[in-house]
């Protein structure tokens, strides 16, 4: 390795793990870095990019969310100059062939499937937050990106602490054909102290809370009424008061509900003011500058936020306008926000460390139900606590309202309990089409066996077979030393059990009334007596009998485990795990005229370039809807495609929709009931369609809010997703249908304006 002792980069002296990773990268290896949140993983990526630029090489930086992509673009543009940096996030394309190109992981996967020529001069791909590979809804994107990445390109994967980093690296190494080095850092520069808070105990540890709670329950069971603090409400403001007393500000307070984020911030604002007069003046100035930049004067949400800002309080979630989120982040970065209420998205990648992190609950809503936080999720968020060079220690608190949550639901504060990454690989129709487009059928089977799920299954089977072999050897040796009379009536143990059984039958026969039944019982007793009389009992001491029983008990437990493992090994499928799914989806695509004999038909060629709701959009296109609808109707329809409504959100009545929904519903019904497409693959929810129609016609955003209860950020997000889909459709039809492509460009321009437009 090169000697990099004392090397400084961007004002930091490189740590050993950073130097180790950089050395491996410069030597031509791919590298996977597994380290806690907040220890400086991204500095490795920054160093690699700076080095690549100095060498005239090209790098792609992928991020899991658009907000992180936008943030990195702004950073890199400031460091390296606008001409060297580009960004592609689907709805935004700037300088796409730049030396450093930032993009979402989805865009990189899509680029690989289309075999873009611009990948030829690529040196490295950086996968930030590569542990997203284990995400149930999006993990496949990471796997496909790694599988289809050209083997000569090197990879830098940045991950939160994961226990099976070596396994992930071995998989990448196997399918890419070059060595992947693992750099792991388990300790933090600023260590974390973990606490819970309840009025009964104040700030304490989970084991101490458990003891206090058990004592309280015992007292109540004994008829003693709860007294004092044990009756008090468990509130976020009490926890913030304790954090403030312990000099724990600034604090990032995670709440897994947008509405609760806002309510709690407003409640705290009524009780606390964390800023001096001088700091309040700076807040006023920043608010004024950002308001003028984005023309936010008079915006109601800004007014509510400003009342909190001047007290050093804020909230941050996806429902906020992007401009307002930027304002919150600017104030937070300037240390003018002392308590920030935020949803989980604030924990992803955005580097705003604090002294303390609080959790409003140990559980979160996952879209289906409330479930306990995983240990990985907990550390991903808790890792924001502790500012390097400022704090000696970071502090983490969980609000422990045990009237709502069980102690068993609290995540572990032991980093060794972090869950392993597991593959979530699945095949979409788009994936199937691109496999047929770029590969012949035998190659497809090989590729389907290259995913992380198959690799993990093979490893699991190897481990099980190894354990089975050990059990078989151990049980075989043990069987040889077990007494040959074990289980026979000559064995004292078996004889004792038989005599006990005989006495029981002799007692029971006296109560049997039926003649036939009594005769049968008598025969059974005689047979048992005869067998006992004929058997020659072994003379074994009590100690010998005890040892023999223990030996047999151990053998039987081994044998039971052996039988279970034999069944698991026999039924475990490794190769060809996804062949059935491929066959089923291929049959549907052939029936729909997307495929024939492994070749893509016009519908298939089109759908291969659509990466969300590909079947639905393709059927719209080939039914002529995009030609029939006017530009404003297209925009109204497109925001409904792939839209996931929030809880309680309703579809407007058909009379309020600016298009006829009947032919759309018929397409969806036919795909589900005639062709067998899973209804989860067909998302169409037009709650935002009337808003998109008005917006497309030139309506002011402020006026738009009069027609909806939805939050501004959700509207902007839906409109930007619509731009992304329109861009895909336009690219898919550009060669064959330039007139429609021009029409779709106009559609995009009508949406991409004013507050919806991304400013980078």
> What does the domain layout of the chain look like in residue ranges?
8-184, 192-417, 609-756
Using CA atoms, how far apart are residues 361 and 655, in angstroms rounded to an integer?
43
Over its C-alpha atoms, the chain yields an Rg (Å, rounded) of: 33
Measuring CA to CA, how many Å separate 372 from each of 326, 362, 365, 397, 447?
A: 30, 6, 9, 16, 36
Report the phi/psi class of residue 146: left, alpha or beta, with left for phi > 0 and alpha for psi in -120 to 50. alpha
Strands, E, within 107-168: which ranges? 122-127, 154-159
State mean pLDDT over 17-34.
96
Please say if the pLDDT value at position 566 is more than 80.
Answer: no
Using a pLDDT cut of 90, give the percent of the chain over it: 61
Please say if the pLDDT value at position 287 is more than 80.
Answer: yes
Using CA atoms, how far apart are residues 582 and 580, in angstroms rounded to an integer?
5
Domain 609-756, CATH:
1.10.3380.30
Using a pLDDT cut of 70, give the percent of the chain over it: 96
Question: Tell me, what's the pLDDT at 62?
Answer: 95
- Domain at 8-184, CATH class: alpha beta
Please provide residue 34's backbone torsions phi and psi, each rounded to the nearest 5 degrees: -115, 115
Please say if the pLDDT value at position 230 is more than 50.
Answer: no
Residue 532's pLDDT band (cuts 50, 70, 90): confident
Please say if the pLDDT value at position 470 is more than 90.
Answer: no
Please say if the pLDDT value at position 9 is more than 90.
Answer: no
In terms of average pLDDT, the best of 228-237, 388-397, 550-559 is 388-397
Using CA atoms, how far apart are residues 182 and 597, in angstroms rounded to an integer?
43
Using CA atoms, how far apart are residues 638 and 111, in angstroms rounded to an integer?
22
162-193: b (≥16 Cβ within 10 Å) or e: bbbbebbbebbbebbeeebbbbbbeebebebe
Tell which residue, 500, 483, 480, 482, has the closest CA to residue 491: 483
Strands, E, within 45-179: which ranges? 58-63, 85-88, 93-94, 100-104, 122-127, 154-159
Please provide residue 485's backbone torsions phi and psi, each rounded to the nearest 5 degrees: -90, 0
The helix/strand/coil state of 394 is: strand
Sign of CA pseudo-dihedral 217, 218, 222, 228: negative
Residue, of 19 and 541, whose pLDDT is higher: 19
- Which residues 6+ apart lie within 8 Å of 202 measured at CB? 242
Residue, of 387 and 16, whose pLDDT is higher: 16
Using CA atoms, how far apart are residues 339 and 170, in angstroms rounded to an integer?
42
Average pLDDT across the chain, whole number:
89
Tell which residue, 478, 474, 532, 463, has the closest CA to residue 501: 532
Residue, of 650 and 628, whose pLDDT is higher: 628
Helix axes 452-481, 542-571, angle to 10 degrees: 150
Tell me 412's DSSP state. P
* Weakest mean pLDDT among 95-99, 148-152, 432-436, 462-466: 462-466
Quick count: other Cβ atoms within 10 Å of Cβ 749?
Answer: 13
State mean pLDDT over 206-225.
80
Using CA atoms, how far apart are residues 731 and 65, in angstroms rounded to an integer?
23
Please say if the pLDDT value at position 38 is more than 50.
Answer: yes
Using CA atoms, how far apart are residues 731 and 139, in angstroms rounded to an integer?
25
Question: Tell me, what's the pLDDT at 1?
Answer: 42
Question: Tell me, what's the pLDDT at 474?
Answer: 80
Is there a common fold for 192-417 and 609-756? no
Tell which residue, 417, 716, 428, has the closest CA to residue 588: 428
Using CA atoms, how far apart are residues 71 and 1, in angstroms rounded to an integer?
33
- Domain at 192-417, CATH class: alpha beta
Tell me 191's DSSP state. -
Question: Tell me, what's the pLDDT at 722?
Answer: 97
Quick count: other Cβ atoms within 10 Å of Cβ 600?
Answer: 18
For 718-737, the pLDDT digits (tens) are 999 999 999 999 999 999 99
Residue 555's pLDDT band (cuts 50, 70, 90): confident
Tell which residue, 600, 480, 495, has the closest CA to residue 538: 495
Tell which residue, 253, 369, 259, has the closest CA to residue 314: 253
Using CA atoms, how far apart are residues 18 and 454, in angstroms rounded to an integer?
32
- Which residues 6+ apart lie within 8 Å of 162 measured at CB? 34, 131, 168, 376, 418, 420, 421
Structure tokens that stand for 728 in this block = 């895909």
Please say if the pLDDT value at position 3 is more than 60.
Answer: no
The helix/strand/coil state of 696 is: helix
Question: Tell me, what's the pLDDT at 186?
Answer: 87
The separation between the first and the last C-alpha atoms of the chain, rounded to the nearest angstrom, is 39
Residue 349's pLDDT band (cuts 50, 70, 90): low
| 192-198/202-204 β-pairing | antiparallel
Using CA atoms, how far apart are residues 13 and 241, in angstroms rounded to an integer?
36
* Weakest mean pLDDT among 262-276, 467-481, 514-528, 609-623: 467-481
Using CA atoms, how far apart are residues 323 and 557, in angstroms rounded to an integer?
64
State mean pLDDT over 271-291.
95
The pTM score is 0.85
Question: Tell me, what's the pLDDT at 224?
Answer: 63
For 633-687, the pLDDT digits (tens) are 999 999 999 999 988 888 889 999 999 999 999 999 999 999 999 998 999 999 9
**Burial degree of 494 (CB within 10 A; 0-12, 13-18, 19+):** middle
């Amino acid at each position: 390795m090169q000697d990099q002792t004392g090397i400084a980069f961007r004002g930091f002296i490189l740590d050993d793990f950073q130097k180790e990773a950089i050395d491996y990268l410069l030597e031509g290896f791919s590298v996977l870095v597994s380290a806690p949140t907040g220890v400086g993983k991204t500095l490795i990526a920054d160093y690699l990019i700076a080095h690549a630029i100095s060498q005239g090489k090209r790098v792609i930086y992928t991020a899991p969310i658009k907000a992180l992509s936008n943030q990195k673009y702004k950073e890199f543009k400031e460091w390296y100059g606008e001409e060297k940096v580009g960004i592609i996030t689907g709805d935004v394309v700037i300088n796409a062939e730049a030396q450093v190109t930032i993009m979402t992981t989805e865009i990189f996967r899509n680029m690989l499937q289309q075999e873009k020529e611009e990948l030829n001069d690529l040196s490295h791909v950086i996968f930030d937050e590569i542990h997203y590979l284990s995400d149930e809804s999006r993990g496949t994107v990471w796997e496909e990106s790694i599988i289809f990445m050209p083997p000569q390109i090197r990879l830098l994967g940045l991950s939160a602490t994961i226990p099976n980093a070596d396994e992930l690296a071995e998989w990448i190494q196997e399918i890419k054909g070059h060595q992947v080095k693992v750099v792991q850092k388990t300790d933090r520069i600023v260590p974390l102290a973990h606490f819970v808070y309840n009025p009964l105990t104040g700030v304490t540890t989970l084991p101490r809370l458990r003891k206090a709670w058990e004592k309280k329950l015992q007292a109540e069971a004994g008829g003693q009424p709860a007294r004092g603090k044990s009756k008090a409400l468990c509130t976020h403001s009490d926890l913030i008061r304790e954090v403030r007393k312990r000099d724990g500000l600034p604090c990032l307070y995670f709440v897994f509900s947008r509405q609760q984020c806002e309510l709690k911030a407003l409640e705290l604002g009524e009780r606390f003011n964390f800023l001096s007069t001088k700091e309040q003046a700076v807040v006023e100035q920043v608010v004024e500058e950002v308001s003028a930049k984005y023309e936010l004067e008079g915006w109601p949400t800004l007014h509510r936020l400003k009342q909190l800002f001047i007290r050093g309080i804020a909230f941050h979630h996806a429902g906020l306008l992007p401009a307002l989120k930027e304002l919150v982040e600017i104030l937070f970065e300037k240390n003018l926000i002392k308590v920030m209420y935020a949803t989980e998205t604030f924990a992803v990648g955005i580097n705003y460390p604090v002294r303390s992190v609080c959790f409003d609950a140990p559980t979160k809503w996952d879209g289906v139900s409330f479930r306990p936080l995983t240990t990985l999720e907990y550390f991903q968020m808790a890792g924001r606590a502790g500012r390097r060079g400022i704090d000696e220690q970071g502090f983490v608190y969980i609000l422990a309202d045990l009237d709502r949550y069980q102690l068993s639901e609290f995540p572990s504060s032991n980093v060794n309990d972090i869950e392993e990454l597991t593959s979530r690989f699945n095949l979409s129709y788009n994936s199937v089409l691109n496999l047929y487009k770029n590969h012949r059928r035998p190659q497809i089977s090989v590729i389907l066996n290259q995913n992380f799920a198959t690799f993990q299954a093979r490893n699991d089977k190897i481990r099980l077979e190894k354990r089975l072999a050990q059990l078989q050897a151990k049980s075989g040796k043990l069987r040889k030393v077990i007494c040959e009379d074990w289980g026979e009536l000559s064995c004292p143990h078996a004889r004792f059990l038989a005599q006990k059984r005989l006495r029981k039958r002799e007692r029971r026969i006296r109560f049997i009334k039926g003649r036939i039944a009594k005769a049968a019982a008598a025969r059974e007793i005689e047979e048992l007596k005869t067998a006992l009389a004929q058997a020659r009992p072994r003379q074994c001491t009590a100690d010998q009998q005890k040892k023999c029983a223990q030996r047999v008990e151990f053998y039987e437990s081994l044998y039971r485990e052996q039988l279970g493992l034999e069944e698991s090994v026999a039924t475990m499928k490794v190769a060809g795990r996804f062949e059935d799914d491929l066959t089923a989806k291929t049959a549907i695509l052939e029936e729909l005229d997307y495929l024939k004999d492994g070749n893509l038909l016009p519908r298939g060629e089109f759908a291969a370039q659509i990466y969300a709701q590909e079947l639905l959009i393709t059927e719209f296109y080939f039914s002529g809807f995009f030609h029939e609808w006017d530009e404003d109707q297209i925009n109204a329809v497109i925001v409904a495609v792939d839209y996931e409504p929030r809880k309680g959100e309703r579809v407007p009545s058909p009379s309020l929709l600016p298009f006829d929904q009947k032919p759309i519903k018929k397409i969806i019904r036919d795909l589900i009931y005639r062709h067998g497409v899973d209804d989860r693959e067909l998302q169409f929810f037009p709650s935002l369609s009337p808003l998109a129609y008005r917006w497309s016609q030139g309506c002011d955003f402020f006026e738009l809010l009069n027609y909806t209860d939805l939050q501004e950020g959700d509207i902007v997000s839906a409109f930007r997703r619509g731009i992304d889909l329109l861009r895909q459709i336009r690219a898919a039809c550009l060669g064959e249908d330039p007139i429609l492509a021009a029409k779709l460009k106009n559609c995009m321009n009508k949406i991409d304006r004013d507050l919806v437009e991304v400013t980078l």
